[in-house]
Amino acid sequence: MEEKNRLRSFLTWVDRHLGRGSYLWIRPLLAPYQEDTHLAYAETLSRVVRPDIRWLDAGCGHKILARYHEKQEMEIVKRTRFAVGCDTVVESNHQHRSLEKIIPCDLSSLPFKDDSFDLVTLNMVAEHLVEPSRVFSELARVLDRDGQLVIHTPCASSYEIWLIRLGWRLLPKSVGFWMIRVTEGREPGNVFPTFYRANTRRLLSRLMSEAGLVEEELRVIEGRPFFYFAAPLSILEIAFEWFLRTIGKSEVCPATLLGVYRRSRKCSHSAEADSHAAEQILPHILQ
C-alpha cells in the first residue's frame, strides 16, 4: 500500500512539473505571446453582457465558460434580464450549471420569434455545424436590431486541427476518447463530430456577412501547444511555432477564432423566417 502511494505521489509530481502542469512554467519563459483562449472568451462576455440584456447561448452544453471559471459565469448570468440556452443534446436540460431554462432544438430552426435577443453566443459550436450558413441566418433572425453575436471556435488552418483529424482517421476511437478525457476532462458522451465548415478567418467573415452580420472584431488567438501535456514535446513544438512565425506562417500555429458581430440594420427576414417566427416561443420572451 505504501509503495502504491509513493508511486501515485511520484506520478502526480511528474504530471505537475513535466506533464499537464508543465505549460504553466513553460509559457512565461518561451511563449509569452500565447493566451488562454477560454479566458479571452470570458473577458469578451464580461464586456458585452450588459445589465438587462436578453441572451441566448446557442449549443450551450452543460456550462457557458470553462470549468475553472464557474464563479465568473454565475456573475455574468445574474447580470442579464434573462439568459436562455438551447442545444440538440436533451441531457443539457438538467445538467447546466448556471442556466435554468434550456430549450432542446436544432440550431438551424430556432423556436424563437424574430428580434428576441440582444446577444447570442456560440462557444465551441461552429466547428460542429453541418450547414453553418443556415445556422448563422437563424441566429441573425432572432437577434434584435443592433444585437450582437459572439463566436468562439477553433481555427481550422492550424496544424493542431490537421493532427486531430488525422488522429481520428488513423488511431482507434478508444485512443482518441482517452486523450480527450486526459487532456480536457470530457467523457465520450460529450465528444461530437466536427466538420470545420466555418473555421477559417476568411470563411467565417464571408458567412457572417451573408447572414447580415457586420464584423466588429475578429481575433486569432494563439493558444497552448497541441502537446502541452508533455514538457519535452511542448518545448519542441514552441520552437517549431517560432520558426513558422519567422517565415510568416503564424496562421498555421494552434489558434482559435474569437469574433464579435452585430446585426446589420439592413438585415431583413424572408417570408419563410417570418412564418417560422409564429412557432412556439418561451412565455417570458413575450413579456
pLDDT digits (tens, 9 = 90+) for 63-110: 999 888 999 999 999 999 999 999 987 665 568 899 989 999 999 999
Domain membership of residue 4 (yes or no) is no
Percentage of the chain surpassing pLDDT 70?
Answer: 90
Determine the pLDDT at residue 92: 53
Say which CATH number the domain at 84 has.
3.40.50.150
Determine the pLDDT at residue 143: 97
**C-alpha cell recorded at residue 75:** 456573475
Residue with cell 511528474: 14
User: Which domain range does residue 247 map to?
Assistant: 32-285
Q: Taking residues 256-262, report their average pLDDT.
A: 97
Domain membership of residue 8 (yes or no) is no
Q: Taking residues 22-43, report their average pLDDT.
A: 94
Q: Is the pLDDT of residue 271 over 50?
A: no
Domain membership of residue 184 (yes or no) is yes
What's the start-to-end Cα distance of the chain, in Å?
Answer: 63
Determine the pLDDT at residue 213: 96
Q: State the DSSP string of the chain.
A: -HHHHHHHHHHHHHHHHTSGGGHHHHHHHH-TT---HHHHHHHHHHHH--TT-EEEEET-TT-SS-GGGHHHHHHHHHTSSEEEEEES-TTHHHH-SS-S-EEE--TTS--S-TT-EEEEEEES-GGG-SSHHHHHHHHHHHEEEEEEEEEEEE-TTSHHHHHHHHHHHHS-HHHHHHHHHHHH---GGG------SS-SHHHHHHHHHHTTEEEEEEEEEE---TTTTSHHHHHHHHHHHHHHHHTT-GGGSSEEEEEEEEE-TT----HHHHHHTTS---GGG--
Q: Sorting pLDDT into bands at 50, 70 and 90, what band is 216?
A: very high
Determine the pLDDT at residue 89: 75
Determine the pLDDT at residue 49: 96
Domain membership of residue 10 (yes or no) is no
| Dist CA 248 CA 41 (whole Å) | 26
Name the more confident of 243 and 192: 243
Domain membership of residue 221 (yes or no) is yes
Domain membership of residue 2 (yes or no) is no
Number of domains the chain is built from: 1
**Nearby residues of 226 by Cβ (< 8 Å), 6 or more positions away:** 159, 160, 163, 237, 254
Q: Rounded mean pLDDT of the chain? A: 87
* Spatial CA neighbour of 277 closest among 286, 266, 287, 267: 286
Q: Is the pLDDT of residue 134 over 90?
A: yes
Determine the pLDDT at residue 284: 47
Domain membership of residue 20 (yes or no) is no
Q: Is the pLDDT of residue 31 over 50?
A: yes
**C-alpha cell recorded at residue 165:** 483529424
Q: Could you tell me the CA-to-CA distances from 195 to 119, 127, 176, 202 in Å, in that order?
A: 25, 6, 17, 16
Q: Taking residues 170-183, report their average pLDDT.
A: 82
Q: Sorting pLDDT into bands at 50, 70 and 90, what band is 265?
A: low
Domain membership of residue 49 (yes or no) is yes
